[in-house]
A and B are shown apart, each in its own frame.
Chain A
Amino acid sequence: MPLIEIEDLRFAWPGHPPCLQIDRFTLERGEAIFLHGPSGSGKSTLLALLAGVQVALSGRLSIGGTELARLHAPERDRFRVDHVGLIFQQFNLLPYLSVIDNVTLPCRFSSLRRQRALADAGDLKEAAGRLLSRLDLAPALWTRRTTALSVGQQQRVAVARALIGRPDMILADEPTSALDASRQEAFLDLLMQECARSNIGLVFVSHDLRLVSRFRRIEEMTRLNPMARGE
C-alpha cells in the first residue's frame, strides 16, 4: 500500500474558487520526492492537506491507509503527531526549551512515537542524543538554548525532531532556504540518509533546483495542479 494516496482531490479556501486540484498522486514508503513550483502554485496548500491541517473539499487523501477526511479535527491533530514529522524554513524550535527538549517534543505528545523512540534507546534523552550525533551536532550543544545555535545547527535540530520516534513521513517546507549555499547540500545529504535508514517517506518542497540531482522523483507543482495560479 502506498504511503500517500491522493485521488480527485479538490481544495478551496472558504468563499474562493478552488485553488488545488490533483487527479492522482501517490508516494511509496521510504520514497523521497522533490516538489517545486512558483508561488501560488499550491505547494503550501498541499503540505497543509498532507499534514491534516486543512481538509479537502472533495476527493480522497489517505496516509498509510487512513483517510484524513474521515477524521475529526482533534483526531487529525493526533494523527499528525503520530505519523508526520515537519520541518519549516526557519524558526523551527521553541526558544524556551533546550535542544534536547525540542527534539523530544513529539514524543511528549504522541505515545506511539515515544514507544518507537524508546524501542532502541534507554530513554528519550538517549534517543535524541543518538539522532543529534548522527546529524553532526556535538553533545556540548545538546543542553544549550536554541538561540545560541547557528541557523544551520537549528535546522539540523529540526530534522532530529522530525525523525525521532520514526514517523511514517516527513514534510519539509523549504528547509534549506535559510542556509548558506555551501551547507545546503550537506544538510540534504544528512536528511535523506536518515530517511532512507528508517524507511521514512520524504516530501521536500523547495524552489532551489540545484538540489534536484539527489532526488529520483521530481514533481512540478503547476503540472500536478492545473488550478495553480501564477504570481
Chain B
Amino acid sequence: MTYLFVLALRSAWNRRLTLGFTLLAIALSVTLLLTIERLRVDARASFVQAVSGTDLVVGARGSPLQLILYAVFRIGSATQEMSWASAEAIAQHPAVAWTLPLALGDSHRDYPVLGAPRDYFRLLRHGDGEPLRFAEGVPYAGLFEVVLGAEVAERLGYRLGDRLILAHGGGHLAPEHADKPFTVVGILARTGTPIDRTLHVSLEAIEAIHLDWQGGAPIPGLTIPPELVGKFDLTPKSVTAVLVGLKSRAQVFAMQRWVQSYPDEPLMAVLPGVTLDQLWEIMAVAERSLLAVSALVAGVGLIGLVAVILAGLNERRRELAILRSVGAGPRRLMLLLALEGAVLTLLAIALGLALSHLLVLLVGPWLASQYGVWLRIAWPTAGQWLWLAAVFLVGLAASLVPAWRAYRLSLADGLTPQV
C-alpha cells in the first residue's frame, strides 16, 4: 500500500529532530569509510605514477625511503647531498644507459624547485611509460629560465614570460635570491604526479644563485650580479640524488652493489619499486586499522538508529493502534518499521556520499599541494560500493529489531494499548 509508505515518511518527518541526529551520525561514519577508501586508492595512484623506467635512485647513504620520498616525491626533509664527482662516475659506468642528477632545496612560494639537466624533459618517464609533454613553451636553455609544472602555473597564475624569484630552502621565511629573477619559458602538461607542482631549472642555475651564498645565507658584502655569473664555473658541486637507467635491467643488483661499495663516498642505490612496495605494506596496516575503526563507528551509528527508533516506539503505540483501526495488520506495521529504518539508512548513506565528495572538493587541493596526493571526484570505487552495501545491509538487518517489536506490540495491544 503506497499510502502506508507516505504515512511512514510523514511520521518520520514528524520525528525529524531525533532521527536527524542519528542520521547525521551514520552519514559521518559513512563519509569516514568512503574517504579512507578513496585516500587509499588515490594515494597509491598518485605515488605509482611518479616513477617509471628508473632502475635505481642513488644518493648519500641513509634511509632508502627518505631518499625516494624526497628526491622523487619532494616530500619530507632533505637528505644528505652526494658529490658531483660520484654522479659523474656513475654516469660514466659502462652498465649505465642514462643518468639524471637532481638538485633540490630551493622553493618558490611553497612549491619545490628542482635543478635538473635539460635531458630531464627528454628522458623522464612517468605513469605507464609516459614522457613529459609541454603544454606551452620549451625547456630552459638560458641560465635564468624556469619550466613550471602544470599545478604551479595554474595555482599561481603564471604565463610564459613572467618573472619570479626563488627562495632558499622552504617555508615562509626562506631568504630569497631576489637579485636573480627567473623567466618562465615553459609550462608542462598535467601529469598527476609531483612533477605538476615543481619548478624546473638547470643545475647550473642552482649553482649560479648560490654563488654568493655560503651555508644558506648571502655572503655579506659580496653580490655577484646576474650578468657576471656566466663568467664563473657553474658545474654543480653536489646533487641530491641521481636517477639511473641501466642498459640491462636484470643487472640492477650488480649495479646496486657497485654503488654501495663505491670507495670515494658512502652512497646507496635504491630500487624504487621495492622501496615503494615496502611503503605500501606499512600503509596497508594503517589503512586496515583506520577502516576497522570506521566500520566500528558506522556500527555504533546504526545501533544508535535502532535505539532511537525503539525508544520512540512506546510513544507510537497509539499511532500503531490507529493504523490498525484503519486496516493495517501487524505484518504491515512490521514492514512499515523496517522500511523506516531502511530508508533512513539509505538517506544516511546518500548524505555520507555527498559529504565525502564535498570533503574531496575542500581538502583535495591542499592535499595535492602539500603531499602530492591527488584525490579525484569520481563514482565510488569497487571498494567503496562494498562498504556502502555493507552499511545498508547492516542497517536493514538492524531495522528488523524495532520492526519485530512493533509487530509484537500491535498484536498484544490490539486497538487499546496501555498507554
A and B are interacting partners: yes
Q: How far is the CA of A108 from the CA of B328 in the complex (A)?
A: 11
Residues of chain B with a CB closer than 8 A to A82's CB: 327
Say if the beta carbon of B397 comes within 8 Å of chain A. no
The answer to whether B14 touches A48, judged by C-beta atoms less than 8 angstroms apart, is no
B118 in contact (CB, < 8 A): no
Known: A74-B331, A108-B3. A81 touches B11 (CB 8 A): no
Q: Mark B303-339, 1 if CB is under 8 A from A, else 0.
A: 0000000000000001101101111111110000000
Set of chain B residues within 8 Å of A47, measured between Cβ atoms:
415-416
Q: Which residue of chain B is the closest to A84 with respect to CB atoms?
A: B325
- Chain B contributes a number of interface residues (CB within 8 A of A) equal to 24
How does the 8 Å CB contact mask read for B390-419 relative to A, with 1 for contact and 0 for none? 000000000000000000000000111001
Task: Across the A-B interface, give the 5 residue pairs with the lowest CB-CB distance, nearest first.
Answer: A81-B327, A96-B14, A77-B329, A53-B414, A86-B325
With CB as the reference atom, state the residue of chain A lying closest to B4.
A109
Q: Is residue A66 within 8 Å, beta carbon to beta carbon, of the partner chain? A: no
A105 to chain B, nearest CB (A): 5
Complex interface residues of chain A between 74 and 110 (CB less than 8 A to chain B): 74, 77-78, 80-82, 86, 88, 91-97, 105-106, 108-110
Interface of B is mostly: helix
Q: Which residue of B lies closest to A109 (CB)?
A: B327
Indicate if the CB atoms of B327 and A110 lie closer than 8 Å. yes
Tell me if A73 counts as interface (CB < 8 A to partner B). yes
Interface: B1 (CB within 8 A): yes
Neighbouring A residues of B415 by C-beta, 8 Å: 47-48, 51, 53, 86, 88, 173
Asked if A54 lies at the interface with its beta carbon under 8 angstroms from chain B, I say yes
Inter-chain contacts of B331 with A (CB < 8 A): 74
List 12 A–B pairs whose Cβ atoms lie within 8 Å, in order of A's numbering. A51-B325, A53-B414, A77-B324, A77-B327, A80-B325, A91-B419, A94-B10, A94-B11, A96-B11, A97-B10, A106-B326, A173-B415
Contact with B along A105-124 (1 / 0, CB 8 A): 11011100000000000000
Which of B325, B329, B416 is close to A73, meaning CB atoms less than 8 Å apart? B329
Interface residue A58 (Cβ < 8 Å from any Cβ of B): no
Chain B residues, Cβ within 8 Å of A91: 318, 419
- Provide the bound-state CA to CA distance between A30 and B171, in Å: 92
CA A97 – CA B3 in complex, angstroms?
12
Contact B318 A96 (CB under 8 A): no
B3 touching A109, Cβ below 8 Å: yes
Do B328 and A109 touch (CB < 8 A)?
Answer: yes
Query: A11–B321 Cα gap in the complex (Å)?
Result: 21
The CA-CA distance from A95 to B322 in the complex, in Å, is 11
| Closest Cβ–Cβ distance, residue A78 to chain B (whole Å) | 6
Is A44 on the interface with B (CB-CB < 8 A)?
A: yes
Contact between chains at A109 and B416 (CB < 8 Å): no
Chain A residues lying within 8 Å of B419, measured Cβ to Cβ, are: 91
Q: How far is the CB of A57 from chain B (nearest CB, A)?
A: 16
Candidates A78, A92, A95; contact of B327 at CB < 8 Å? A78
Q: Is the CB of B321 within 8 A of A88?
A: yes
When distances are taken between beta carbons in the complex, the residues of chain A under 8 Å from B280 are none
Task: Provide the residues of chain A in CB contact with B10, threshold 8 Å.
Answer: 94, 96-97
Apart from A51-B415, A74-B331, A81-B326, what are 6 other A-B pairs with CB-CB below 8 Å? A77-B324, A86-B325, A88-B325, A91-B318, A105-B326, A106-B326
A54, B328: Cβ atoms closer than 8 Å:
no
Rounded to whole angstroms, the CA-CA distance of A88 and B329 in the bound complex is 18
Distance A106 CA – B1 CA, assembled complex (angstroms):
13
Q: Chain A 41-81, CB within 8 Å of chain B: the 1/0 string?
A: 00010011001011000000000000000000110011011
Closest to A72 in B: B329
Contact partner of B416 (CB less than 8 A), chosen from A77, A88, A94, A97, is: A88
- Write out the residue numbers on chain B whose beta carbons fall within 8 Å of the beta carbon of A106: 326-327
- Chain A CB within 10 A, most for which of B322, B327, B329: B327
Whether B324 lies near A92 (C-beta < 8 A) is: no
How far is B414's CA from A51's CA once the two chains are assembled, in angstroms?
A: 10
Residue B13, interface by CB 8 Å: yes
B7 within 8 A of A: yes
> Which residues of B are found within 8 Å of A86, using beta-carbon distances?
325, 415
- Using a CB-CB cutoff of 8 Å, which residues 28-48 of chain A contact chain B? 44, 47-48
| Residue of B whose beta carbon sits closest to that of A87 | B325
Chain B nearest CB, measured from A107 CB (Å): 9
